[in-house]
């Protein structure tokens, strides 16, 4: 009777494993979020059950009179099955991530025909870096070069400050090194987006050098204006939080909440080419823009 029970239990376990594999393959092909959730609810408990069965096989075997050699053979088989299923799960989650990135890539490409974006994932981050600098898993082999803009579908993240063959360093909006020519989309008031230690600590940036009579108001959207050839036009930088007077002159500046939380972003796009990339500034504006360091 025990042998029958043990044989039936093994068959059920194997059947469940194959059912999980089928669900995983179906989900990776269809991208169904519902199936993915169901799979997640089933897969995680089943991994635990499989491990528990493997670890407790000795007790069951001894109760049924199995030899140590037979027990070890069954344990090894179960471990191989669990290891194989774990590999399948890793592939499954990788496919899910790649599919999500591909959808964002296609959306950006359709909206900006001149863009050549490269999808990348954040693979390294210094939690003690207040400016949110991070490392991505793509480099020069993928066409990425220094100064390439880094974005998400929501807006600007930063720029590539150094690029190696297979990875790159990204300096974010929150860094004092970042200066971006930008404009208030509502009032068309132009300025330069920058940041300092205090602003970075508050996760905000500043739209600086606004004229004393600027009509910029809370809620306005700030976008890149394309001057400098580093960032293309009309990428969202963020939303105006407040407008304040500069302590050094009569100008105003706007506190801006970035559209992207650069300290938590996980997937990005690097724009390796776009219309106007690297173009020199017009003679009339080059002096003023270069003095402010705008990209």
| More confident of the two residues 270 and 28 | 270
In tens, the pLDDT along 197-256 reads 999 999 999 999 998 888 999 999 999 999 888 899 999 999 999 999 887 777 889 999
| More confident of the two residues 88 and 132 | 132
Structure tokens at 128: 């003690």
Q: Give the start-end residues of each E strand in the chain.
A: 117-125, 134-136, 149-152, 155-163, 168-172, 180-184, 190-194, 205-210, 221-224, 236-245, 252-258, 267-271
Q: What is the pLDDT of residue 199?
A: 93
| More confident of the two residues 274 and 140 | 140
In tens, the pLDDT along 53-110 reads 455 555 555 555 677 777 777 787 887 777 777 766 666 555 555 555 556 555 665 6
Plot region of 216 (φ>0 → left; ψ -120 to 50 → alpha; else → beta): beta
Homologous superfamily of domain range 115-295:
Rod shape-determining protein MreC, domain 2 (2.40.10.350)
| More confident of the two residues 13 and 138 | 138
Q: What is the pLDDT of residue 49?
A: 47
Query: What is the distance between the alpha carbons of residues 98 and 106, in angstroms, rounded to a whole number?
Result: 12
For the beta carbon of residue 94, count every other beta carbon within 10 angstroms: 11
Residue 6 has pLDDT above 50, yes or no: no
Structure tokens at 187: 């009032």
Q: Tell me which DSSP letter residue 248 carries.
A: S
Q: 213 CB contacts (<8 Å, ≥6 apart)?
A: none
**On the CB side of 44, how many CA atoms lie within 13 Å of its CA?**
6
In tens, the pLDDT along 143-180 reads 999 999 999 989 999 999 999 999 999 999 999 999 99
């Amino acid at each position: 009777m025990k042998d029958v029970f043990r044989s039936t239990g093994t068959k059920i376990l194997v059947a469940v494993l194959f059912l999980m594999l089928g669900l995983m393959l179906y989900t990776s092909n269809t991208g169904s979020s519902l199936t993915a959730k169901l799979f997640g609810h089933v897969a995680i408990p089943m991994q635990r059950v499989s491990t528990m069965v493997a670890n407790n096989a000795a007790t069951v075997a001894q109760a049924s009179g199995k030899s140590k050699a037979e027990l070890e053979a069954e344990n090894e088989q179960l471990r191989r099955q669990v290891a194989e299923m774990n590999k399948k799960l890793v592939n499954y989650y990788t496919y899910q991530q790649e599919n999500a990135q591909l959808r964002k890539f296609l959306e950006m490409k359709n909206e900006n025909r001149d863009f050549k974006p490269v999808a990348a994932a954040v693979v390294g981050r210094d939690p003690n870096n207040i400016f949110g600098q991070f490392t991505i898993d793509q480099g020069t082999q993928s066409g990425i070069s220094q100064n390439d803009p880094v974005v998400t579908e929501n807006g600007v993240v930063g720029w590539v400050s150094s690029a190696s063959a297979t990875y790159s360093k990204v300096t974010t909006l929150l860094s004092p090194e970042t200066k971006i020519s930008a404009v208030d989309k509502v009032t068309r008031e132009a300025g330069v987006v920058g940041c300092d230690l205090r602003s970075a600590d508050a996760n905000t940036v500043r739209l600086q050098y606004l004229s004393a009579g600027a009509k910029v108001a809370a809620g306005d959207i700030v976008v890149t204006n394309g001057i400098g050839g580093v960032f293309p036009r009309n990428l969202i930088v963020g939303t105006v939080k407040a407008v304040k007077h500069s302590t050094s002159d009569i100008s105003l500046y706007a506190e801006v909440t970035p559209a992207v939380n650069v300290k938590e972003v996980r997937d990005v796009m690097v724009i390796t080419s776009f219309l106007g990339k690297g173009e020199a500034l017009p003679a009339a504006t080059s002096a003023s823009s270069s003095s402010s360091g705008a990209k």
